[in-house]
Structure 1
Amino acid sequence: MAELVTVARPYAEASFKAALEGNALGPVSDGLQMVAAIANDAQMRSVVTNPRVNSQQKKELFAAVAGTGLHANVTNLVAMLVDNHREVLLPLISSQFEELKRDHERVLHAKITSAQPLTDAQRSELVASLERQYGRKVEAEVDVDPELLGGARVQVGDQVIHASVRDALAQMAAALAR
């Protein structure tokens, strides 16, 4: 998997640079997310990986499923990847493009996992606290995991803030075991 990420990186960086220069970050981002979703679809993947389906048919299939709203940069990228048998990279390129876009816009992605559903006020307060701490705008993805017992776990990039009852109990158990 790390190998595919490395191969996808130059495509994501070139797409980002072209979108930035063309003042089209939003449309290119939307288009990349669309073609990544198409490439991730199980039925589409079975067609795209079928050796009997030629490059032109694959490009036409992507165009038909995506519709006419794709930005030209995305259409060209898909065509180039299909011609080089690298369409499998589309989800990784999209993901890396989004990271570059968030970094450019000074936005952090945070994954908040709580033991119980958060109210809008709790979510807003937590996001505001993270924005003060990191000095950037924060996009939050919120999940619920009842196994945390109480509290929450927040992941921003590769940093994890453990504030759940389960994590506190695990830390106490480790301290007592010493």
Structure 2
Amino acid sequence: MAENVTIARPYAEAAFKQADGAGALGPWSEALDKLAAVAADPQMQTLIHDPKLGEDKLAELFIGVVGDLDESQKNFVRILVENERLQVLPEIRDLFVERKNEREGTLDADIVSAFELDDATLNTLTQELEARFKAKLNVSVSVDPDLIGGVTVTVGDDVIDASVRGKLANMAAALKI
């Protein structure tokens, strides 16, 4: 949702500056993963929107559920509670990860394969993609049998469709001309 991203941006920037200044991008990224997961939980959503629950109690409860946070991360949660922004934690996390990846020179790559990829094939594919995009890739792999064969790769806005389904669709489009 575009509105949530707009609301989340200054908080993500603040978290990034805090983490970067402390040399703690990794720990902050892990903490934001946990915070976003807790904020997305339906039971927690009910508590977040409960007008009877005070800010201090909500912050205390939220921090208690998340668990292992350092003091600056706890303060970040308190600020989010105070400004009624806990619900945008998933967007804050996503924006933070984008900035972290940019800083580290890495990109996210989503590979969808028709079949399970063995380690050797995945390593070869990852090396070829890293050479093509001239960046280190954080690769996530999923299986979609509807592709029939091959893979699709999404890196940022770039999509490489090397699937049989994609080739059949291209042939069908060419035959309609």
Q: Give me the TM-score of the superposition, normalised by structure 1.
A: 0.96
How large is the RMSD of aligned CA atoms in angstroms?
Answer: 0.9
2:18 corresponds to which letter in structure 1?
A
1:147 is matched with which residue?
146
- Structure 1: 4+ residue segments shifted above 3 A: none
Alpha-carbon distance in structure 2 between the residues aligned to 1:14 and 1:85: 16
2:96 is matched with which residue?
97
Alpha-carbon distance in structure 2 between the residues aligned to 1:75 and 1:94: 15
1:84 is matched with which residue?
83
User: 1:71: Cα distance to partner?
Assistant: 2.6
Alpha-carbon distance in structure 2 between the residues aligned to 1:152 and 1:107: 21
| Contact 1:15 1:73 (C-alpha < 8 Å) held by counterparts | no
Alpha-carbon distance in structure 2 between the residues aligned to 1:72 and 1:9: 22
Alpha-carbon distance in structure 1 between the residues aligned to 2:134 and 2:127: 10
Count of paired positions:
177
Alpha-carbon distance in structure 1 between the residues aligned to 2:122 and 2:44: 37
2:54 is matched with which residue?
54
Most deviating of 130-139 and 145-154: 130-139
Superposition pairs of residues 34-45 of structure 1, within 5 angstroms: 34-45=34-45
| Contact 1:15 1:97 (C-alpha < 8 Å) held by counterparts | yes
| Contact 2:12 2:93 (C-alpha < 8 Å) held by counterparts | yes
2:61 corresponds to which letter in structure 1?
L
Superposition pairs of residues 134-173 of structure 1, within 5 angstroms: 134-173=133-172
1:8 is matched with which residue?
8
1:40 corresponds to which letter in structure 2?
A
The SS at the match of 2:84 is coil
1:117 is matched with which residue?
116
2:16 corresponds to which letter in structure 1?
F
Alpha-carbon distance in structure 2 between the residues aligned to 1:91 and 1:163: 31
**Structure 1 regions of 5+ residues with no counterpart?**
none
Q: Give me the TM-score of the superposition, normalised by structure 2.
A: 0.97
Alpha-carbon distance in structure 2 between the residues aligned to 1:12 and 1:39: 15
Q: Is it true that 1:131 corresponds to 2:130 in the alignment? A: yes
The SS at the match of 1:152 is strand
The SS at the match of 1:85 is coil
Alpha-carbon distance in structure 2 between the residues aligned to 1:48 and 1:30: 22
**Structure 2 regions of 5+ residues with no counterpart?**
none
1:70 is matched with which residue?
69
Give the percent of matched residue pairs that are identical in Structure 1 and Structure 2.
47
Most deviating of 56-65 and 146-155: 56-65
Alpha-carbon distance in structure 2 between the residues aligned to 1:85 and 1:98: 22
The SS at the match of 1:33 is helix
